[in-house]
Amino acid sequence: MVQKAESIWFDGKLVPWDQAQVHVLTHTLHYGCGVFEGIRAYRLTGGGSAVYRLKEHIHRHFNSAKIMEMKIPFTEAEICDAVIATLKANKLAEGYIRPLSFIGAGAMGVFPGDNPIQTIIATWPWGAYLGDEALEKGIRVKTSTFTRHHVNVMMTKAKTVGNYCNSILAKREALADGYHEALMLDTEGYVSEASGENIFIVRGGRIKTTPLTSILDGLTRNTLIALARDLGYEVIEERFTRDELYSADEAFFCGTAAEVTPIREVDRRTIGEGKAGAVAKHIQREYFKIVKGENPKYDAWLDKYDI
């Protein structure tokens, strides 16, 4: 359950949590044309807090809106400032941030006409997305019967509300079958991503990740590519198949919510030694140093604030 906070930023104003409401004829509620982001704030080891890659997340949010032909009536800088203001109003030193822009009520039908574009920012405490044990021991994954979107069916580079019906179906199926997460293939049968995470595999010390074809351009993915290369690993962006994943030495998911989550099993096949591998653990440790302000090389990615 989402833990209730004091306020939600709604179209330029902080309003009480229970008053952040919309009409039942809100266009996005019916037709799914809205865009959102998932962002995290962390307590810094040296004191204070920081939002991780705030500007990049908000820039992607505006790009998603542009792709979906939604004109957000605020600037990127104003939304960045609003994120910090919401965290401070809720006295949240660490947690999850959800900006959402949606088409409001007015015209009904597929064409939204001149309906207003509205934006909210909600924040709440949130720990490990797949559980603390998942970060340490790794998770079990099932290849979904549902295929990831084709690039000319849905706009895969937009973080669009309606795209996630595909993810919901895959996630429900995986959980019902006793797994932690779903792996999704693209329309040609290559590994795409999970229901809400990007994927990496490790073979012979070399790291491979799906290229930006059918997948969302994940900011955590972008971080890990840069980090792994800085750590001396060879990283390749190249399509790979399920059987290549099955025979990998290691595999792990990444995302703002999932952070760096090792994979110990896929479709009943043990991956590597059946636990978090050395490369995944190394990258995971270094990733948490970055977001907690312990590696000054990456301080430009931190928007710092105090409660």
Q: Secondary structure of 195-220 in the HEC alphabet?
A: CCCEEEEEECCEEEECCCCCCCCCHH
Q: What is the mean pLDDT of residues 221-246?
A: 98
pLDDT recorded at residue 134 = 82
93 vs 78: CA distance, rounded Å: 21
Q: What does the pLDDT look like over 131-172, one tens digit per residue?
A: 678 888 899 999 999 999 999 999 999 999 999 999 999 999
Please compute the mean of the pLDDT values over residues 53-79 and round it to a whole number.
98
Instruction: Answer yes or no: is pLDDT of 178 > 90.
Output: yes
Whole-number pLDDT of residue 127: 77
Whether residue 128 is predicted with pLDDT greater than 80 in this model: the reply is no
Encode pLDDT of 242-276 as tens digits. Answer: 999 999 999 999 999 999 999 999 999 999 999 99
Element (H or E) spanning 169, and its range?
Answer: helix 164-176
Active-site residue, selected from the candidate residues 142, 159, 281, 292: 159
Cβ atoms within 10 Å, residue 274: 12
Active site residue 159: yes
Round to whole Å and give the CA distance between 40 and 106. Answer: 33
Kindly indicate the confidence band of residue 65, based on its pLDDT and cuts at 50, 70 and 90: very high
